[in-house]
Amino acid sequence: MSLHASSRSGTAGAEELDPSKEERAGRVREVGGQAVWSLSSCKPGFGVQQLRDDCLDSYWQSDGPQPHLVNIQFRRKTTIQDVWIYADYKADESYTPSRISVRCGSHFNDLQEVEVVELHEPTGWLLITLKDLKERPGINTYMVQIAVLSNHQNGRDTHMRQIKIHAPVRDAPVSVYAPCAFTSLALRRDQTIR
């Protein structure tokens, strides 16, 4: 099975990427809160809580050998449309990721790489859009793993300031009719709520 992802990063003069824009428009929802997050390592006080606190001034800092891993496990199969990562080369320099791998699967033992993203001094939100084999947005998965393979200036540990995980919002029709057609007058009278 091969999967596909595409990525964009904010550049000077380009429209600033904002993960909450699609959320406010009702096209996606942030589902990271429904997952169990774990890290390969972290310095005390620089862990998952800082990675998910919606504050661009705080960050996760790894404390161990590369690759540095962020594991996001869902309790049920979830469609993931995109992954957003906030990085700040100006503030973090050699701690800034330069190569990131995104992997998906059911558990740690069957993860498949969906994309490797090369970054050049990123500052701002980075978007990695996940697509299925037919190029439709979204991958159904139980687990997403973000692996920092290398840092700028050959840095050892890494900083990531925020990660957001988006799922598409699906419009499902809601039926107001009973699933079966009643034939008696008594049942037909009571089949609708007014």
So what's the pLDDT on residue 162? 97
* Residue 111, in any domain of the structure: yes
Residue 8 has pLDDT above 80, yes or no: no
- Residue 88 has which token pair? 């700040």
From the list 145, 134, 166, the residue with the least C-alpha distance to 1 is 134
* Residue 122, in any domain of the structure: yes
Q: What is the CATH number of the domain that holds 101?
A: 2.60.120.260
Q: Label residue 177 by pLDDT band (50, 70, 90).
A: low
- Cβ(63)–Cβ(41) below 8 Å: yes
First vs last Cα of the chain: how many Å apart? 50
* Residue 11, in any domain of the structure: no
**How many domains are contained in the chain?**
1
* Residue 53, in any domain of the structure: yes
* Residue 193, in any domain of the structure: no
Strand runs labelled E in the chain = 4-9, 28-30, 35-39, 60-61, 68-80, 82-88, 97-105, 112-118, 123-131, 139-151, 159-160, 162-168
Q: 111 lies in which domain range? A: 19-171
Over residues 16-67, the pLDDT tens digits come to 789 999 899 999 999 999 999 999 999 999 999 999 999 999 999 999 999 9
Over residues 106-142, the pLDDT tens digits come to 999 999 999 899 999 999 999 999 988 788 889 999 9
* Residue 100, in any domain of the structure: yes
How many whole angstroms separate alpha carbon 148 and alpha carbon 95? 11
So what's the pLDDT on residue 1? 39
* Residue 189, in any domain of the structure: no
